[in-house]
């Protein structure tokens, strides 16, 4: 074995441990009873193994409702974002109009504006619209970060597509919209799917806006609900861990499914070296 | 302008209009309101009055705010520094991985797609002082390296260390993947030429690899600096800014002042203090990103 291979093996093992140990620790705790945790009886593997936390989480807490709220929000935000970002990304990448460079820079700048700067004034704006305490406040506010990011990604994707196909469609008498819908969209599908998954993940994981805009316990999303469980009076560690596992699995599944596109999207969109 | 050009402009206007509505209504307008609010004495439930620079002057003399600035800088510099070093290590490891490289790259990216709330929660438990719950206490005691459990997060330095670790863990995969992409685009001939010249492994890394990834390192550092100095989730969920004010950073302090003390105007002002720094960071970053976009 060469030095490079030894380095690779040691490095891969080290990074795999760093990445996996925290996940394993949470999953491990989610399959233990309260007593097993409290008296530290089976520390590294849950023995005996129990599903009790999952059933309790499902039956005794509002978690199913929070999950539904997160899902409704994420799906609505993803749909809105995909439409806006595809149209915008196409226009900036493919159409010639005055101020195009400015609009492209603006999108980038907006993608970098941190939510921490906007949550207080945004709360006031949403309150004046009567949207606080409902999922509408999230569906309206999440696009402020998903749309700039996804538009930026899609500009890259649309730019990379061959011009000839679209020109052929235009020569054949198709309008811009028809050219976009029939010719370019199918070609850009991988990019659009990747950007949709990004939008879904960002929305699914968002915490600050959801914490600020929603107080009504029936309208909470999962991250804020989890935060309630942490600081609740009942020490329901196991349920908290079970909730973390359930929340992480869909995102990981989505991500495994499109990993290649996502990584390419990242490399193409944000940090093309 | 040609007819096609005019038609393009009309279509562009149509396609970009949803985006404009969003940007003006929910980003630009709230931002302007934030600037205005910072010049008022707005308390929740009371109408606002213009007070000029009073909020700014108050914060400049506020010990709590001084702590926030110090903590935010420590938190950000430590996290970003760690991310660069481990990101480079991860990219180097993956670049010499000869099989299943995509699998490992995907595996290492997992922290980056996981919810920050869950990450914060996870690391809270990893560092917990109770052996059955805290991973490090359990392992160190079983190895005999620790006689009694250590309450890391109860100390100021320990709590800062814990939030830095959690932030680092979430962020380093993004750095690693970006550096890997940059390393893979370095022409092999450069390495071959260096080998022929008799350059050692270390010199090849120093003179070929590092210059090849320099651009991406700068971009990731700027990007991560902007995100980390504005981090809310990890600190809020792990420590609530405590113990005391030991881990209070800009975003958590802004939230604390606005929603617990109900002083909205002052809360907004806390985050406005970051705007000049953000503008500088964004301007630098845009130059880097747009330059490569046009290249």
Tell me, what's the ipTM? 0.89
Those residues whose C-beta lies under 8 Å from the C-beta of residue B184, and which sit 6 or more positions away, are: B95
CATH class belonging to B56-294:
mainly alpha
Of the candidates B24, B34, B41, the one whose C-alpha atom is nearest the C-alpha of residue B261 is B41
Going along chain A from its start, the domains and CATH numbers come out as: 1-60 (no CATH), 62-269 (1.10.3720.10)
Q: Assess whether pLDDT exceeds 90 at residue A1.
A: no
Q: Does B19 sit within 8 Å of A151, measured CB to CB?
A: yes
A250 close to B (CB below 8 A): no
Task: Report pLDDT for A114.
Answer: 86
Q: How confident is the model at residue A42 (pLDDT cuts 50, 70, 90)?
A: confident
pLDDT band at A20 (very low <50, low <70, confident <90, very high): very high
Cα A168-A173-A176 angle, rounded to 5 deg: 80
pLDDT of residue A270: 45
Tens of pLDDT, residue by residue over A190-237, are 888 888 988 999 999 999 999 999 988 889 999 999 888 876 655 678
Instruction: Please report the pLDDT score of residue A159 as a whole number.
Output: 85
Q: Phi-psi bin for A130: left (phi > 0), alpha (psi -120 to 50), beta? A: left
Q: Looking at residues A4-20, what average pLDDT do you find?
A: 93
Confidence band of A261 (pLDDT split at 50, 70, 90): low
| Residue A98 DSSP code | T
CB atoms within 10 A of CB B134: 25
**3-state secondary structure labels for all residues of B17-47:** HHHHHHHHHHHHHHHHHHHHHHCECCCCCCC
B253 touches A: beta carbon within 8 Å: no
Which residues in chain B land under pLDDT 70?
1-6, 291-295
Contact B185 A39 (CB under 8 A): no
Q: Report CB contact under 8 Å: B258, A120.
A: yes
Nearest alpha carbon to residue A237 among B232, B134, B159: B134
Residue-wise pLDDT tens digits, B232-291: 999 999 999 989 999 999 999 999 999 999 999 999 999 999 999 888 988 888 888 776
Cβ(A227)–Cβ(A208) below 8 Å? no
pLDDT band at A272; cut points 50, 70, 90: very low
Shortest distance, CA B15 to any CA of chain A (angstroms): 5
Q: What's the farthest any 2 CA atoms get from each other in chain B?
A: 81
Q: How many CB atoms lie within 10 A of CB B57?
A: 12
Contact A108 B289 (CB under 8 A): yes
Q: Is the pLDDT of residue A105 over 90?
A: no
Task: Give B-chain residues touching A247 at CB under 8 angstroms.
Answer: 115, 118
What are the extents of the domains in chain B? 56-294
A-contacting residues of B 120-159, CB under 8 Å? 121-126, 130-133, 135, 138, 142
What does the pLDDT read at residue B66? Answer: 95
Determine, for residues B18 and A106 on separate chains, whether the beta-carbon distance falls below 8 Å.
Answer: no
* Residues contacting residue B279 through CB under 8 Å, at least 6 positions apart: none
């Amino acid at each position: 074995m060469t030095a490079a291979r030894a380095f690779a093996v040691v490095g891969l093992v080290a990074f795999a441990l760093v990445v996996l140990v925290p996940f394993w620790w949470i999953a491990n705790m989610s399959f233990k009873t309260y007593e097993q945790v409290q008296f530290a009886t089976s520390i590294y593997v849950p023995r005996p193994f129990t599903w009790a936390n999952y059933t309790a989480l499902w039956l005794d807490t509002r978690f199913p409702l929070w999950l539904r709220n997160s899902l409704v929000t994420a799906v609505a935000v993803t749909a809105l974002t995909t439409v806006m970002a595809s149209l915008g990304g196409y226009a900036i990448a493919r159409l010639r109009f005055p101020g195009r460079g400015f609009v492209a820079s603006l999108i980038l700048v907006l993608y970098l504006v941190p939510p921490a700067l906007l949550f207080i004034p945004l709360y006031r704006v949403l309150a004046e619209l009567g949207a606080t305490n409902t999922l509408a406040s999230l569906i309206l506010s999440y696009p402020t970060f998903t749309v700039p990011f996804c538009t930026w990604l899609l500009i890259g994707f649309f730019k990379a597509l061959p011009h000839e196909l679209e020109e052929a469609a235009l020569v054949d008498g198709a309008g811009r919209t028809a050219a976009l819908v029939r010719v370019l969209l199918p070609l850009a599908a991988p990019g659009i799917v990747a950007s949709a998954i990004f939008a879904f993940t960002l929305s699914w994981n968002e915490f600050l806006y959801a914490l600020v805009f929603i107080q009504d316990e029936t309208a909470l999303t999962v991250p804020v609900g989890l935060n309630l469980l942490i600081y609740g009076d009942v020490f329901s560690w196991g349920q908290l861990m079970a909730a973390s596992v359930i929340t992480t699995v869909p995102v990981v599944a989505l991500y495994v499914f499109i990993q290649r596109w996502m990584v390419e999207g990242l490399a193409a969109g944000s940090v093309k070296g | 302008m040609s007819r096609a050009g005019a038609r393009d402009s009309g279509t562009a206007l149509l396609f970009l209009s949803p985006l404009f509505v969003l940007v003006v209504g929910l980003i630009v307008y709230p931002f302007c309101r934030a600037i205005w609010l910072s010049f008022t004495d707005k308390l929740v439930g009371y109408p606002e009055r213009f007070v000029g620079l009073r909020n700014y002057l108050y914060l400049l003399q506020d010990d709590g705010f001084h702590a926030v600035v110090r903590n935010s800088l420590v938190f950000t510099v430590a996290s970003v520094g760690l991310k660069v070093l481990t990101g480079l290590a991860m990219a180097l490891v993956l670049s010499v991985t000869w099989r299943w490289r995509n699998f490992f790259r995907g595996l290492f990216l997992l922290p980056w797609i996981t919810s920050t709330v869950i990450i914060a929660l996870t690391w809270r438990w990893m560092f917990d002082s109770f052996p059955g719950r805290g991973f490090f206490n359990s392992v160190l005691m079983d190895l005999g390296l620790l006689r009694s459990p250590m309450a890391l997060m109860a100390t100021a330095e320990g709590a800062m260390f814990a939030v830095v670790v959690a932030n680092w863990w979430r962020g380093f995969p993004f750095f690693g993947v970006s550096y890997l992409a940059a390393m893979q685009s370095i022409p092999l001939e450069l390495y071959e030429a260096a080998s022929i010249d008799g350059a050692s492994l270390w010199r090849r890394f120093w003179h070929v690899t590092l210059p090849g990834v320099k651009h991406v390192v700068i971009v990731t550092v700027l990007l991560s600096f902007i995100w980390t100095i504005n981090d809310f989730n990890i600190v809020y969920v792990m420590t609530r800014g405590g113990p005391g004010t030991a881990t209070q950073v800009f975003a958590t302090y802004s939230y604390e002042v606005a929603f617990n003390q109900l002083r909205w105007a002052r809360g907004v002002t806390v985050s406005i203090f970051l705007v000049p720094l953000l503008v500088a960071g964004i301007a630098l970053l845009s130059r880097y990103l747009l330059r490569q976009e046009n290249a």
